[in-house]
Amino acid sequence: MSNWHRPRFPGMVTVLIAVLVMTGCALSRMTDRNESRSLPANQTADTRLGRAIAPLADAHPGESGVVLLENAHDAFAARALLAEGADATLDVQYYIWQYDITGTMLLDVLYRAAERGVRVRLLLDDNGISGLDEALAALDTHPNIEIRLFNPFVVRSPKWIGYVTSFQRLNHRMHNKSFTADNQAAIIGGRNVADEYFGAGQGALFADLDVLAIGPVVHELSDDFDRYWSSVSAYPVATILPEAGEEDLARVVETAKNCSASSAASKYICAIEDSKFLNNLLAGNLEFTWAPVSMISDDPAKVLGKKPKNGLLSRQMAEAMGSPERSVTLVSPYFIPTKTGVEIFRDLERKGVQVRVLTNSLEANDVAMVHAGYAKYRKPLLEAGVQLFELRKLPGSESVEGDLQKSLMGSSSSSLHAKTFAIDGKSLFVGSFNFDPRSVHINTELGFVIESPELTQVVENHFEEQVQVTAYEVVLDSAGDLQWIERNGEEEIRYSHDPGTGLIKRMLVSFFSFLPIEHLL
C-alpha cells in the first residue's frame, strides 16, 4: 500500500502542534501583584528637584515649564542626569529599550539610583526589549526596583511565534515614552532608548524631539503612569521571566561597568560630563518657557480592544487643539493620512488654512510597508492643496536598501522620527503619536499639548529652515505627475521618481501599496 499520504516528518508535526498549543494558552491571571502609586508632589517637595523647582512653579501658577530637547546627546544626558538628581522616585515607561550602549548605561543609572534608596518603577512594552530578559529579571531582584512588562509574550524566544495564535492581542502595543523623577520633572517625546535615538549629534531638529517639563503637567503624567502601571496588561517580570539571583545582578552591574569603560561609550560619557543640565536645573538657572500644558494619552484599555469614552488620544488632541484657522504644520515619520485625513486637509485648505507636512522620503524611511501606505496618498494630498515635503536620508543614517528584514519590519532608525503638530502659530503637540492608523486605533500613545506661541514659532521656523536644505519638496508637474525638488543653494534638481532609490525598492513599495493592510500600519 502506498504511504504517500502519510506525514514525512512526524516529529516536526508533533513539535509544531505542541508549540501551537503552548502559544495558544492565554496569559495567566495575576493574583499577587504589589500595588504602588507615585508620591504626591508635596511629599517630594523637599527633594533636591522639589526645592529647585518650587520657586519657579510658584512664580507661574497654572503653567508648566518646558524645554525642547532637540539635540540627541543632550536628550541622553538629560535622562541620565535626571536620574542622578532623583532622591525619591523614578517612573520610567518606554516602547523600545535595547541592550546596547545607551540602553545599558541608562539601566545602570536606574540601578545606581536604586542603590542610594530611590524607588524605581520601570514599565516596558514587551515587544521592544530584545535580549533584555536576563538583565531585567536580575534588576528586578533589587529591593528598590520593580519592573513590569506591558502586554507580554508567553513564549520568550522566538517571540514571533506568539503572533501565530495571539495576533489580535499582541498586535496592540504601548508606544508611550516618559521618564519622570520625584514627580517633579519629566521627559516625554519621540525617543525610545537605543543608540540610534541618541546618536544624531547636531543633526536636524526633526531627527527626533523630546520635551523636558516641570510644573502641574508632571503630576498629570505621574497619574497616567499609575494608570498604566496598575492596568491589567502590566505584568510583573517575575511572573513572565525566569528567576534570577544575586550572581545575575552582579553580572548586569559588571556589564554596565565594562560598557561605560569602552571607547564606544565615550561620546555619551562626554555628553554627561559636559552637560550643565542638572546643575542649571538644581540652581534654578535652566531657561524654561512657561505656558499652559495638557497631557493627553490613550486609556491602557485600548490594547484590549476597548475604546472608553474620551479615552482616545486622537479625540483628546482634536478637542485640545481646536479648529485650525490659519495654519497646520505637521511632522510625522510614519504618515498615512487615509482617505478621511485627505478630506480633512482638503476642507482645511478650502477654508484658507495652510497645511504643510514633513515626513520621510523613501530613501530615509525604515519601514517600506508604511511608506507604501503613505505613497498612494501623495497625489490626492497635493491635489487638495497640501504642501508636502520628504526628508532626505541624513548622513550616517541606515539605508533599508541592503536589509530586507528592516525594510519590511522597520529598524526604527530613519532620519526623521519626531512627532509634532503646530496649529495657527499658537499650539504645539509633542509626543509619541504618528499620523497613521496604528497610532489612532491600535497602539497606545502619549503627548503634551503646549499652548505657547513662542515654542510653536520655534518649531515652525525650524520647519521652514529644514525643508529648504534637508528635504525634497513633492509637487505635481503640468501633466499631473509627481516630481521631487531638491534645493542646494542656488541649484535646483528635479526627479521624476523617489530620489536615492533603486528600481527594486520602488517596485517593492508599489507591490505593498496593493495589499489590504492599511489598517495595520
pLDDT at 63: 98
- pLDDT one-digit tens code per residue, 187-222: 999 999 999 899 854 444 458 899 999 999 999 999
List Cβ neighbours of 330 (8 Å cut-off, separation of 6 or more). 355, 356, 357, 358, 420, 421, 422, 435
Entry pTM: 0.90
Asked if 67 and 296 touch (Cβ cutoff 8 Å), the reply is no
**Residue 190 CA: distances (Å) to CA of 105, 331, 482, 504:** 19, 11, 30, 31
What phi and psi, each to the nearest 5 degrees, are found at residue 5?
-85, -5
pLDDT at 460: 94
Beta bridge partners of 189: 210
pLDDT at 296: 97
- pLDDT one-digit tens code per residue, 436-474: 999 999 999 999 999 999 999 999 999 998 899 889 999
Which residue, 462, 504, 506, is CA-closest to 484? 506
Asked if 190 and 418 touch (Cβ cutoff 8 Å), the reply is yes
- Pull the grid cell for residue 169: 492581542
Are domains 47-282 and 294-520 of this chain identical in fold? yes
Q: Which fold has domain 294-520?
A: Endonuclease; Chain A (3.30.870)
pLDDT at 306: 84
How many Cβ atoms sit within 10 Å of the Cβ of residue 261?
Answer: 10
- pLDDT one-digit tens code per residue, 385-398: 999 999 987 655 44
List Cβ neighbours of 409 (8 Å cut-off, separation of 6 or more). 367
- pLDDT one-digit tens code per residue, 492-520: 999 999 998 888 888 888 888 778 777 77
pLDDT at 521: 66
Catalytic residues: 175, 177, 182, 417, 419, 424
Domain map of the chain by residue range?
A: 47-282, 294-520
Distance CA 516, CA 152 (A): 27
What phi and psi, each to the nearest 5 degrees, are found at residue 192?
-90, -170
**Burial 166-189, CB ≥16 within 10 A → b, else e:** beebbebbbbbbbbbbbbbbbbbb
Share of the chain above pLDDT 90, in %: 72
Predicted confidence (pLDDT) at residue 401 exceeds the cutoff of 50: no
Asked if 124 and 151 touch (Cβ cutoff 8 Å), the reply is no
pLDDT at 308: 76
pLDDT at 206: 54
- pLDDT one-digit tens code per residue, 22-32: 444 567 777 77
- pLDDT one-digit tens code per residue, 470-479: 899 999 999 9
Q: How confident is the model at residue 366 (pLDDT cuts 50, 70, 90)?
A: low
Predicted confidence (pLDDT) at residue 413 exceeds the cutoff of 80: no
DSSP string, 456-468: HHHHHHHHHHHHH
**Residue 304 CA: distances (Å) to CA of 128, 175, 231, 298:** 19, 15, 11, 12
Predicted confidence (pLDDT) at residue 17 exceeds the cutoff of 50: no
Distance CA 391, CA 371 (A): 13
- Pull the grid cell for residue 325: 484657522
Look up the CATH number of domain 47-282: 3.30.870.10
In one-letter notation, the amino acid at residue 274 is: D
Q: For the chain, how big is the Rg over CA atoms in Å? A: 24
Alpha helices per DSSP H over 325-434: 338-350, 368-375, 378-383, 404-409
pLDDT at 26: 66
- pLDDT one-digit tens code per residue, 92-149: 999 999 999 999 999 999 999 999 999 999 999 999 999 999 999 999 999 999 999 9
Look at the alpha carbons of 60, 63, 64, 68 in this order and tell me if their dihedral is positive or negative: negative
Asked if 435 and 443 touch (Cβ cutoff 8 Å), the reply is no
Give, for 330, the enclosing helix (H) or strand (E).
strand 327-331
- Average pLDDT of the chain, as a whole number: 88
Per the listing, cell 535580549 goes with 131
Predicted confidence (pLDDT) at residue 16 exceeds the cutoff of 60: no
Average pLDDT over residues 80-88: 97
Which residue, 435, 441, 449, 431, is CA-closest to 178? 431
Distance CA 139, CA 134 (A): 9
Predicted confidence (pLDDT) at residue 20 exceeds the cutoff of 70: no
- pLDDT one-digit tens code per residue, 252-282: 999 999 999 999 999 999 999 999 999 999 9
Distance CA 247, CA 244 (A): 8
